Amino acid sequence: MMKSVINPNIFRHTAVASEGFNNLCTIVHPLRKEGEYTGEIFLKKQCMGSFQLVINEKSESTQADIDVSLFDPLNIRKNKGISPNQFEMSTDGYVVIYASGHHNGVHVRITGSGDQKDSEEFDTRKLGKDDLVVFRPFHPGKYKLLNRLAGQEASFAIEEKKDGGYINPAKLEPVTIPLTTKGFEIPENKILPFQAMVIKPDIDCSLVLEMEKPRGKKKKAS
Amino acid sequence: MPTLNIAANEKAFNDIIMAAAKKLENTPPLTGSGVLGPFSASYELGFRITDGSIDLTNAGTVHIRELDITYDPMILRLGIDLPHIQIGGECILRLFGKCRIRLPRIDIFGDNPDIVVPINLSGLITSEFSGEFSVSTGKQVLLAKGTRTVHQAHFDADNSNEIRDRFRTIIGTIPLLPATTVNSIADTFVPMVKDNLADKWQFFLRDVWHDLDIIDIASTAENILRHLVDFIIDQILAPIPAVLRTIAHAILDPIISVIGAVLDIGDDVFEWLSSFFQTSFGLLDIIAQLILNFIGAMVPFLQLETPFPIIEDSSGLIPVLVPVENIAVTVDDVEFVVSADIL
């Protein structure tokens, strides 16, 4: 039997919620206060692992990339017991939380440690003005974007190139979608598979991305 | 002067030649490889003799008729090296002209994107060999014999590398064969010739004409390759649920097309691979000719010691050795006859 060479997680999901995210979603949050923080990663209700994050003004790192999938015990075993659980970044940096694996329903909670122990600094289930949420749907089709907290909704399509041309994911510019009290501002430009959709919320939000209809399939009559 | 006549009828002669030909099956498989952009191909090729007959003719020649050569092993390995394509790495926040946040990178393909598919065609492709050969004779005298008496030379095994080295030298003149293959081919033939240190009359089949037909290799190879590319793509898509295959095809097919376009292969890959096969088999034909020439000059289908042990004594007494000279061969459509003067 030949080895599978494609990353199977890429095609796994067609929907995601920021409250319990998967590999379609990346959450970005700034942490400005110097100090030591503890992060806990939950897969649904189960704590999958924890990490330490040091915010240091002198650090040259402007972001801490936290791949929650690497905290899965199966992955830790595969990586010979190594999980990246120490992070550091500067006071103008951002925590970038994402899943590279199959995991779904993940949330991350960051609290202070030391003097600030137990003070909640960030919870991926509670997103607000300073945060960025990046969705990256892979499958062509019709999608719906929702902000559950404000009952806002918008539709858009992920389309293949009509000329059947080559999609080079590395050359796709991210699409920015502001979210205000007026709702989502979806750009008119075509959005392609693999293209990053950066949601910039101006309000508190709990976001959901759902595929309504895959490409080439007619919607069932209700 | 007394003479010696040894005759073999057509059936006996057939058995002698086929026995010698069967020994050639031990020749080590030929190997080769080629690379074009992300595609690569290599092969391992040996043969077996599966059918055929040998006739003696009134023209004094030996006619090998429709000798079926089945390629076994015949193993083709076709590989594709997929490019590393990642998603992520885009800048999503830029401040004062500097990127502040980049999205993490995730590989579309796994850790090892090289795919090699071995195709075992052993026993599936057959060539037909026909040819006409004259019979020639020669005398082998080994330097390793030195000053030994004829009886010592009869009893002493040839432990030298003289025959092997001669073979290697001659096969080494065949172009395109790597040294390891030269040595392997030479070493395969050595046991067919090497014996004791006595002088020997040797009988060779010299190529008058031959014809090696490779049956349907082009269409066979192309069909196999076309299916193979589909097979490889299916393997790439193997981990993807069937319901999503169409989408994955939509994403991957253009990628594969672009790889092809960029490297200027496209459909030409089939032509290239076909040409690769044809060239290889063309080379094989040339190599076959050169090997036939080598066999015709160096590898006898029969050899007789001289002096000939006309009586081998099993009681420990020395054998009766009779010098054999003026050897001659006649062939007609009934028998193969060796005549010689006994001195």
Question: What is the arithmetic mean of pLDDT over A128-132?
Answer: 94
Cβ pairs bridging A and B (under 8 Å)? 118
Compare all CA atoms of chain B with the CA of A164 and give the residue at the minimum distance. Answer: B254
Q: Residue B52 pLDDT > 90, yes or no? A: no
Percent of chain B with pLDDT over 70: 72
Three-state SS letters, A44-68: CCEEEEEEEEEECCCCCCCEEEEEH
Minimal Cβ distance to B255: which of A4, A166, A216: A166
Minimal Cβ distance to A6: which of B104, B240, B258: B240
Are the CB atoms for B85 and B108 separated by under 8 Å? yes
Nearest partner of A167 among B189, B92, B251, judged by Cα: B251
Q: A148 vs chain B: nearest CA distance in angstroms?
A: 24
Which tokens is B300 given? 């006898």
pLDDT tens-digit readout, A162-218: 555 556 677 789 999 999 999 999 998 888 888 999 999 999 999 999 999 887 655
Which tokens is B243 given? 């319901």
Secondary-structure percent of chain A, ordered helix, strand, coil, rounded to 5: 10, 45, 45
Q: Which residue has the higher pLDDT, B258 or B98?
A: B98
Are the CB atoms for B35 and B65 separated by under 8 Å? no
pLDDT tens-digit readout, B174-223: 776 777 777 877 887 888 888 999 999 999 999 888 887 765 444 454 45
Are the CB atoms for B265 and A29 separated by under 8 Å? no
pLDDT tens-digit readout, A30-58: 999 999 999 999 999 899 999 999 999 99
Q: Residue B90 pLDDT > 70, yes or no? A: yes
Compare all CA atoms of chain B with the CA of A199 and give the residue at the minimum distance. Answer: B92
User: Testing the interface with A: which of B91, B114, B251, B252 to mutate, by most A Cβ within 10 A?
Assistant: B251
Question: What is the arithmetic mean of pLDDT over A98-109?
Answer: 94
Question: What is the arithmetic mean of pLDDT over A156-167?
Answer: 69
Are the CB atoms for B2 and B342 separated by under 8 Å? yes
Nearest partner of B55 among B337, B334, B296, judged by Cα: B334
Q: Contact A5/B112, CB-based, under 8 Å?
A: yes
Compare all CA atoms of chain A with the CA of B111 and give the residue at the minimum distance. Answer: A5
Q: Which residues of A touch B258 (CB under 8 A)?
A: 166
The answer to whether residue B242 neighbours chain A at the CB level (below 8 Å) is no
Sign of the four-CA dihedral A175, A178, A182, A183: positive
Would you list the DSSP string of B273-322? HHHHHHHHHHHHHHHHHHHHHHHHHH--SEEEEESEEEE--TTSSPPEEE
Taking the model in full, what pTM does it have?
0.58
3-state secondary structure of B108: coil
pLDDT tens-digit readout, B318-336: 888 889 899 999 999 889 9
Grade residue B235 by pLDDT with cuts at 50, 70 and 90. Answer: low
Q: Which residues of B touch A11 (CB under 8 A)?
A: 240-241, 244, 247-248
User: Testing the interface with A: which of B78, B80, B106, B263 to mutate, by most A Cβ within 10 A?
Assistant: B106
CB atoms within 10 A of CB B149: 10
At a CB cut-off of 8 Å and minimum separation 6, what does B111 contact?
none
Calpha distance A128→A150 (Å, rounded): 12
The answer to whether residue B266 neighbours chain A at the CB level (below 8 Å) is no
Strand partners, B39: B36, B80
Domain ranges of chain A: 20-123, 132-213
Q: Which residues of A touch B248 (CB under 8 A)?
A: 6, 11
Minimal Cβ distance to B251: which of A4, A26, A167: A167
The answer to whether residue B112 neighbours chain A at the CB level (below 8 Å) is yes
Q: Contact A174/B92, CB-based, under 8 Å?
A: yes
Compare all CA atoms of chain B with the CA of A131 and give the residue at the minimum distance. Answer: B93
Q: Residue A82 pLDDT > 90, yes or no? A: no
Percent of chain A with pLDDT over 90: 64
The mean of the pLDDT values for chain B is 77
Q: Which residues of B touch A3 (CB under 8 A)?
A: 110, 112
Q: Contact A63/B87, CB-based, under 8 Å?
A: no
Minimal Cβ distance to A7: which of B108, B237, B247: B108
pLDDT of residue B259: 46
Minimal Cβ distance to A139: which of B82, B89, B247: B247
The answer to whether residue B96 neighbours chain A at the CB level (below 8 Å) is no
pLDDT of residue A167: 63
pLDDT tens-digit readout, B103-138: 999 877 765 556 777 777 777 777 788 888 999 999
Compare all CA atoms of chain A with the CA of B92 and give the residue at the minimum distance. Answer: A174
Minimal Cβ distance to A5: which of B82, B86, B248: B82
Q: Residue B7 pLDDT > 50, yes or no? A: yes
- DSSP summary character for residue B173: T
At a CB cut-off of 8 Å and minimum separation 6, what does A162 contact?
none
Which tokens is B269 given? 């890959």
The answer to whether residue B263 neighbours chain A at the CB level (below 8 Å) is no
Domain ranges of chain B: 3-80+104-342
Q: Contact A170/B86, CB-based, under 8 Å?
A: yes
